[in-house]
Amino acid sequence: ERFRNMQLQEEFDTYDHDAHLFVKLQFLKKRSKIIEIVAAKDIIFALAHSGLCAAFSRVTNKRLSFLNLSPDEVIRSLFYNKNNDSLITVSVYASDHFSTLKCRTTPIEYIRRDQLDAGFPLFESESLKWPGFVEFDDVNGKVLTYSAQDGPGIMLLIYDRTPSYVPLKILSIEDGKPLKLFKHLLHRGKKIDFIEQFNEKLLVKQEDENLQILDVRSSELIEISIEKFMTPSAFIFLYENNLFLTFRNRTVAVWNFRGELVTSFEDHLLWHQDCSTNNIYITTDQDLIISYCKSDAAADDGTASSIGSINMSDIMTGKCIAKIAANDPALSIAPRKNGSPSIWSSIPEALEDVTALFYDEDRNEIYTGNSQGLVHVWSS
């Protein structure tokens, strides 16, 4: 129901002819694909691959500002902190050869008023030089920083393996105290495909070996055969349902921690082989997955279409409940209120080469970004 009568409502452009007036890095001035979209309180934030980040208002449908505060700032990622209604940007700067991650938080209200200098830096005591990193943990409302000089303070520490085992330490995310230190036995001479930790469950997979699911509290071990579970390219843990999603060769599957396949999807073949999670949105209730998918339509000459579709599927049943597809005769461009054409793309063009996707649950709108640096708004 909520996706019925969706139309292409608006188009925004992150490219600016006048970019040379406020940025000095040559690559920030070029048109560049959208790699991440975040929305909060009627504002859409679109981050281009170049490192330029634009904020657009859904109230006025105009660009509010660029978030790059200094002319040599390259924004790498965005995070909306719903706990205090602010946007965190993670950036690198030409002035230190792009070697250190700098985090900054700005209240949404100040961004709306174009008072970007009201934001302030975060984690200044941390030296986030490569290979340091920062991770935002939405579930626990925590930020994990790894300062390569100081050593880590994260949930699961994986130490260098020996031929026959890997030493692991589990820390409390609240205070960093060690909760458990143990050795997980390995098959000698086989590389580790992945070690993933989800609450008390540890998933370990070695090359050409079965998946092992270890309960670190009870030490119970479950094995899933290699024929049944092949190494995925990415995981998403579904905390609400105590399940996890796997992505492999464009297909999505849902598993439980007994190693049983819960859901396979009937019409949800992902467009991108590499499975960037910026092309996938999972609703807060974790009942729907919305992705940019391969479309059923073929081009006029019979070749595979270069135009994808946006598919919404039920995570528990695998059924496709709605889609935005160029071959849908009911899909149209919303008429302009004042007659001015603010949408230059056709619907097929808007669905071509989508590189980022976000669903605003409050407004019931889907935002897509493409390789041209354009953002499109789909709503009913």
Domain boundaries, the chain: 7-147+242-379, 148-198+200-231
pLDDT class for 242, splitting at 50, 70, 90?
very high
Say what the pLDDT of residue 346 is: 92
Say what the pLDDT of residue 305 is: 73
By DSSP bridging, strand 86-93 and strand 234-238 are unpaired
Determine the distance from the C-alpha atom of residue 284 to the mean position of all C-alpha atoms in its chain, rounded to a whole number: 14
pLDDT class for 20, splitting at 50, 70, 90?
low
8 A C-beta contact, residue 38 and residue 6 = no
* pLDDT tens by residue, 274-293: 767 788 999 999 999 999 99
The pair of three-digit structure tokens given for residue 262, joined into one six-digit string: 């819960």
For the chain, what percent of residues have pLDDT higher than 90? 55
DSSP annotation string for 159-220: PPP-SSEEEEEEE-TTT--EEEEEEEE--TT--EEEEEEETTEEEEEETTS-EEEEETTT--
Q: Residue 352 has what DSSP assignment? A: B
CATH class of 7-147+242-379: mainly beta
Say what the pLDDT of residue 154 is: 39
Q: Pick the more confident residue, 247 or 127.
A: 247
- Distance in angstroms (rounded) separating the CA atoms of residues 19 and 63: 13
* pLDDT tens by residue, 305-341: 789 999 999 999 999 999 999 999 999 998 876 655 5
pLDDT at 298 over 60: no
* Main-chain phi, psi angles of 109, to 5 degrees: -60, -40
pLDDT class for 204, splitting at 50, 70, 90?
very high
Q: What's the whole-number average pLDDT of the chain?
A: 86
Cis peptide before 131 (omega within 30 of 0): yes
Say what the pLDDT of residue 153 is: 40
- Distance in angstroms (rounded) separating the CA atoms of residues 101 and 127: 8
